[in-house]
């Protein structure tokens, strides 16, 4: 019997027949044949929904088709982090199987259980939660982050996944290289991002050590109807470092209903009334974690710079045609504000600009 049901258009980065055979042999309980569907909305690794003959859903993740950073698109690394989280209080999709044989579909990949939940990718998704659920979502987002940061990397088997060198130093070096590979030398964005890099490098605060998700925001979480977090997704940027990196990233992405519009930036899901303020988020995190957040303004500037560097790489991959087209290509081709503007404003707010 075939292990793959007939499908229409080819799926980028996926050999359905070979992957179907691998899944049938390696995923316990999977009932062949299977069907594959590209999940829209990804900006880096490619994600597919896998549906078996019994109607059970799984999720499969693999790197993009080109322009790959060895660390940002390391499937083995992402697999290690979700496997480490599975027995903890941090909710993740159940890790099921990992394939490091690139002959199957051109790259390593892993398979996890499919968590049914609402991902708050935009205002429309957030608006579908009723007000009590929005309030609970805001609370649980912080509770889960505090639970992640309470874990000892050594205790969960992640102690050797990153250098002991400071997180900020590693990140500044890594993303500065990335932005140089993504932007042409004459691009004005490059000069601005380099200047911001130099200011950040000259004012690095003292750092602590913990597990950093690297992309923690409502758009990477699945929520239940009551607002509870069912799963944390997209561990591709996870590492060991200062937990302030995650908190500041979440704060920077936490839009409020009365925020002034920013050119080229769509209001995020938390701009829908009912999610509470950034100050409330920080106060709740501080109470739960007991951490010192006095350097948060620096970390916000750092994360806005880092996000601009990541966005430069994402746009470069889409424009190079190495990502599946999920509608982002047209957006990437349009004129846009300077990539570093948000980071520059954050530097000024931190007294460093």
Query: Averaging pLDDT over each range in 85-99, 150-164, 262-276, 301-315, which range is the top one?
Result: 85-99
| 118-349 and 16-113 share a CATH fold | no
Q: Which residue has the higher pLDDT, 95 or 237?
A: 95
Is pLDDT above 60 for 96? yes
C-alpha distance across the termini of the chain, in Å: 65
Domain ranges of the chain: 16-113, 118-349
Token pair 């044949």 is found at 33
pLDDT, one tens digit per residue, over 2-11 is 566 655 456 8
- Of residues 326, 306, 329, 307, the one with CA closest to residue 317: 329
Please tell me the class of the 16-113 domain. alpha beta
User: CATH code for 118-349?
Assistant: 3.90.1200.10
Q: Tell me the per-residue pLDDT of 310-348, one tens digit each, with 9 for 90 and over.
A: 888 777 766 655 555 555 545 544 545 577 888 999 999
Checking phi first, is residue 321 left (phi over 0); if not, alpha (psi -120 to 50) or beta? Answer: left
* The pLDDT value given to residue 3: 65
Average pLDDT, the chain: 89
User: Does the pLDDT of residue 208 top 90, yes or no?
Assistant: yes
The residues, any chain, with a CB within 8 Å of residue 285's CB and separated by 6 or more, are 142, 145, 146, 247, 291, 293
pLDDT higher than 80, residue 72: no
Q: What is the pLDDT of residue 245?
A: 97
φ, ψ of residue 211 to 5 degrees: the values are -90, 130
**Cα–Cα distance between 145 and 266 in angstroms, integer?**
24
| 107-117 confidence digits (pLDDT tens) | 999 999 999 99
| Predicted local confidence at residue 195, as pLDDT | 94
């Amino acid at each position: 019997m075939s292990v793959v049901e007939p499908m229409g258009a080819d799926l980028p980065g996926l050999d359905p027949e070979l992957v179907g055979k691998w899944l049938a042999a390696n995923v316990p309980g999977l009932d062949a044949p299977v069907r594959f569907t590209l999940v829209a909305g990804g900006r880096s690794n490619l994600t597919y929904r896998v549906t078996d003959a019994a109607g059970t859903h799984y999720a499969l993740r693999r790197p993009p088709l080109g322009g790959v950073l060895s660390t940002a698109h390391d499937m083995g690394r992402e697999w290690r982090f979700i496997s480490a989280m599975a027995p903890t209080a941090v909710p993740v999709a159940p890790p099921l199987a990992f394939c490091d044989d690139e002959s199957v579909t051109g790259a390593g990949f892993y398979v996890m259980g499919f968590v049914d939940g609402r991902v708050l990718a935009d205002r429309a998704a957030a608006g579908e939660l009723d007000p009590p659920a929005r309030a609970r979502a805001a609370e649980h987002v912080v509770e889960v982050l505090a639970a992640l940061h309470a874990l000892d990397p050594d205790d969960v088997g992640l102690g050797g996944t990153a250098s002991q060198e400071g997180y900020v130093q590693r990140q500044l070096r890594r993303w500065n290289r990335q932005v140089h590979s993504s932007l042409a030398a004459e691009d004005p964005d490059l000069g601005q991002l380099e200047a911001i890099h130099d200011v950040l490098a000259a004012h690095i605060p003292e750092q602590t050590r913990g597990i950093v998700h690297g992309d923690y925001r409502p758009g990477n979480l699945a929520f239940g109807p009551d607002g509870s977090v069912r799963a944390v997704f997209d561990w591709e940027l996870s590492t060991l470092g200062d937990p302030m990196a995650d908190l500041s990233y979440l704060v920077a992405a936490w839009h409020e209903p009365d925020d002034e519009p920013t050119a080229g930036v769509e209001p995020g899901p938390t701009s829908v009334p009912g999610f509470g303020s950034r100050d409330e988020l920080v106060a709740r995190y501080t109470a739960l974690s007991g951490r010192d957040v006095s350097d948060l303004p620096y970390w916000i500037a750092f994360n806005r710079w880092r996000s601009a560097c990541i966005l430069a790489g994402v746009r470069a991959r889409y424009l190079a045609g190495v990502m599946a087209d999920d509608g982002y290509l047209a957006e990437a081709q349009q004129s846009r504000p300077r990539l570093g503007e948000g980071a520059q404003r954050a530097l000024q707010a931190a007294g460093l600009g």
